[in-house]
Amino acid sequence: MPSPEPIPVHDAGQRATLLKIAARSIAHGLERNRPLEVDPADYPEPLREPRATFVTLELGRRLRGCIGVLEAVRPLVEDVAMHAFAAAFEDPRFAPLRPAEYPDLTLKISVLSPSEPMPFNSEADLLGQIRPGVDGLILRDRGHRGTFLPSVWEQLPDPREFLDHLKLKAGLPPGHWSDSIQILRYTTESFQGPIPASMGRP
């Protein structure tokens, strides 16, 4: 079975630029209550291409916010700026980020490949195709939907456990199975870094 289309690997300078955009967008949100506006024309072609991203914030290795999309709808630099702001201030699981927390954030950016449906004839067949540590999965069934990024394999390394928890996230019981269930997979290019020291406090 073909694997998801590989996504372009961004070089160290491009990754640093994206992390800086994320940090600046959060600082902009603390000062002006809205995301940083970026002009894609100011950036090289790989950062202007439409890409789907997730931005994750951590404080002391604890989750502080995570927001993203599964389908590309805007240029990469704009998507990162928007989701960094949303992770800091609009994740319903957390209170809005406070200025005192900003300098200690760790920023994680995941750039997603296009997702592809996985054909299978049973749950066992599906489990045999899943690639631990590589695949992000999207589950859809009967109005339910959920996704896990490949980074979740760090907490759930077993395919059965990974799939059962994905069902729970989608609002389904772990033992759920039906003929209508759909699974799509994707890969990510992920990188992280702290708030740049030169940026200090907003």
CATH assignment of the domain containing 16: 3.30.700.20
Q: Is residue 144 part of a domain?
A: yes
The token pair that represents 62 in the structure block: 């604890």
Q: Total structural domains in the chain?
A: 2
CB atoms within 10 A of CB 96: 13
Estimate the crossing angle of helix 76-89 against helix 12-32, to 10 degrees: 50
Q: Rounded to two decimals, what is the model's pTM?
A: 0.85
Give the CATH number for residue 142.
3.30.1490.150
Domain identity same for 122 and 71:
no
Domain identity same for 194 and 104:
yes
Render pLDDT for 49-102 as a digit per residue (tens, 0 to 9).
Answer: 999 999 999 999 899 999 999 999 999 999 999 999 999 999 999 999 999 999
Domain identity same for 105 and 134:
no
Distance CA 87, CA 66 (A): 5
Domain identity same for 139 and 153:
yes
The predicted structure's pLDDT at residue 3: 46
Residue (of 4, 16, 71) closest to 47 by Cα position: 16
Given the structure tokens 């997603």, which residue do they identify?
Answer: 112
Domain identity same for 31 and 124:
no
Domain identity same for 57 and 139:
no
Q: Is residue 1 part of a domain?
A: no
Q: Is residue 6 part of a domain?
A: no
Domain identity same for 154 and 180:
yes
- Residues of the domain holding 25: 12-113+188-199
Distance CA 127, CA 42 (A): 44
What stretches in the chain show pLDDT beneath 50? Answer: 1-6, 202
Domain identity same for 182 and 192:
no
Domain identity same for 82 and 138:
no
The predicted structure's pLDDT at residue 200: 54
Domain identity same for 67 and 45:
yes
